[in-house]
């Protein structure tokens, strides 16, 4: 643990996390999220947890979780509690879904992507690329009925959350300021368990953040548009809402977000020099200036300087 004298007072009982999906090794963009969340936890003398979000099995690549752990350790980003894997906690998500069912807030949906596309087309709704498809409510019953077949767990049926009308969620992002989202207009009744029985990111992340007592979420801006959904789920499940800080995205030369889909290359961490080079790039992206760049510095020393630089930051991005 580095010496953290002269830092501003830490947030009480800070618990942060990094939650990669094992769909590819860490790239420059995911390292920014890892480093940003790690620095914020260290600055606050808090805990930094690692959670592997491996529920979407068709997209996960076997063995990549171990590669991510190795990459993080090579960069000196060590975690404070045993890492967790979402695939080992299916019963947690099932319980949360059952609670929501008891609250009469979910309903089953058998629409395929194509059915939804057809309904939207017939309504003349055009969804721009990269924008959320707003579910048109095709399967939504007039009154969401208690136990409408939920216990049978019909396979081939998705479970959606029924949103009440006029649901605008407001929150303060520590970097971006006031945010709001009208969930009906921008998202619609969203899926909590998919037709292939996979619990969705929205449900699992909310259950785990609460279960692990996460107080601060620091992650990439690509996830900003999910936050209102997560806050609403926290509200109905009676969980506290953590604070949020969304980090600037790393874009490639075409202005696209670095991601596994755009085949972003893995960070190179075979030796200390390579790892330091990757860390420096991530730090520049986080707006950290005047960090040591001499060859003689160790990763631990560099991370300490970066923590102090993060602490001196008055405004984010």
Nearer to ligand GLU, 49 or 116 (CB): 49
**Between 269 and 288, how does the x/- string for binding to ligand GLU read (CB under 6 A)?**
--------------------
**CB neighbour burial string for 294-303, b if at least 16 within 10 angstroms, e if fewer:** eeebebeebb
Strand partners, 18: 50
Is 111 annotated as contributing to ligand binding?
Answer: yes
Strands 168-173 and 158-161: unpaired
71 binding ligand GLU? (CB under 6 A): no
Residue in this structure with the two tokens 């939920």, named with its chain if needed? 150
| Cβ at position 202, least distance to ligand GLU in Å | 10
Nearest to 222 by CA among 77, 79, 27, 47: 27
Which of Zn ion, ligand GLU, none interacts with 219 (beta carbon under 5 to 8 A by kind)?
Answer: ligand GLU
DSSP bridge pairs for 26: none
53 is in an annotated binding site: yes
Tokens of 91: 């019963």
Convert residues 82-121 into a mask of x (bound to ligand GLU by CB under 6 A) and - (unbound).
Answer: ----------------------------------------
CA 2 to mean position of chain CA atoms: 27
Which neighbouring-strand residues pair with 47?
15
Footprint of ligand GLU on 201-260 (CB under 6 A): 205, 219, 223
Rule CB under 6 A: choose which of 20, 24, 29, 46 binds ligand GLU: 20
118 binds Zn ion (CB under 5 A): no
Q: How far apart are CA 207 and CA 203, in angstroms?
A: 6
Q: Which of 53, 65, 189, 208 contacts ligand GLU by CB under 6 A?
A: 53
- Could you tell me the smallest distance in angstroms from the CB atom of residue 194 to Zn ion? 12
- Pull the structure tokens for residue 307: 């923590």
Q: What are the residues whose beta carbons fall under 8 Å from the beta carbon of 77, sequence distance 6 or more?
A: 18, 34, 35, 38, 48, 303
Q: How far is the CB of 206 from ligand GLU (least distance, A)?
A: 9
CA distances from 294 to 72, 85, 103, 114, 198 (A): 22, 38, 59, 56, 48
- 147 or 261: whose CB is closer to ligand GLU? 261
Out of Zn ion, ligand GLU, none, what residue 21 binds, judged by CB under 5 to 8 A for its kind, is ligand GLU
Has 122 been labeled as part of a binding site? Answer: no
Q: How far apart are CB 57 and ligand GLU at their closest, in Å?
A: 14
Under DSSP, the state recorded for 223 is G
Annotated binding site for ATP: 260
Footprint of Zn ion (CB under 5 A): 109, 111, 138-139
Footprint of ligand GLU (CB under 6 A): 19-21, 53, 205, 219, 223
């Amino acid at each position: 643990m580095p010496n953290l004298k002269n830092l501003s007072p830490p947030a009480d009982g800070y618990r942060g996390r990094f939650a990669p999906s094992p769909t590819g090794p860490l790239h420059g963009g995911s390292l920014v999220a890892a480093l940003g969340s790690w620095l914020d936890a260290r600055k606050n003398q808090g805990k930094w947890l690692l959670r592997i979000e491996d529920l979407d099995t068709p997209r996960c690549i076997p063995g990549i979780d171990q590669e991510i752990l190795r990459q993080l350790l090579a960069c000196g980003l060590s975690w404070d509690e045993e890492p967790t894997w979402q695939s080992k906690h299916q019963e947690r998500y099932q319980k949360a879904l059952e609670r929501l069912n008891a609250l009469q807030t979910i309903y089953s949906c058998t629409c395929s992507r194509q059915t939804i596309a057809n309904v939207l087309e017939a309504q003349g709704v055009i969804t721009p690329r990269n924008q959320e498809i707003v579910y048109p409510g095709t399967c939504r019953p007039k009154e969401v009925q208690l136990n409408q077949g939920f216990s049978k767990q019909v396979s081939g049926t998705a479970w959606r959350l029924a949103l009440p009308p006029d649901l605008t969620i407001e929150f303060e992002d520590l970097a971006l300021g006031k945010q709001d989202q009208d969930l009906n207009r921008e998202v619609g009744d969203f899926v909590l368990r998919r037709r292939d029985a996979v619990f969705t990111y929205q449900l699992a992340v909310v259950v785990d953040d609460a279960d692990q007592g996460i107080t601060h979420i620091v992650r990439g801006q690509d996830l900003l548009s999910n936050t209102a959904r997560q806050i609403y789920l926290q509200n109905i499940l009676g969980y506290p809402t953590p604070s949020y800080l969304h980090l600037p995205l790393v874009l490639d030369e075409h202005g696209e977000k670095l991601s596994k889909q755009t085949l972003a290359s893995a960070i190179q961490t075979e030796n200390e020099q390579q790892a330091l080079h990757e860390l420096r790039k991530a730090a520049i992206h986080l707006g950290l200036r005047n960090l040591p760049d001499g060859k003689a510095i160790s990763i631990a020393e560099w991370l300490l300087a970066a923590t102090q630089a993060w602490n001196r930051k008055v405004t984010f991005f």
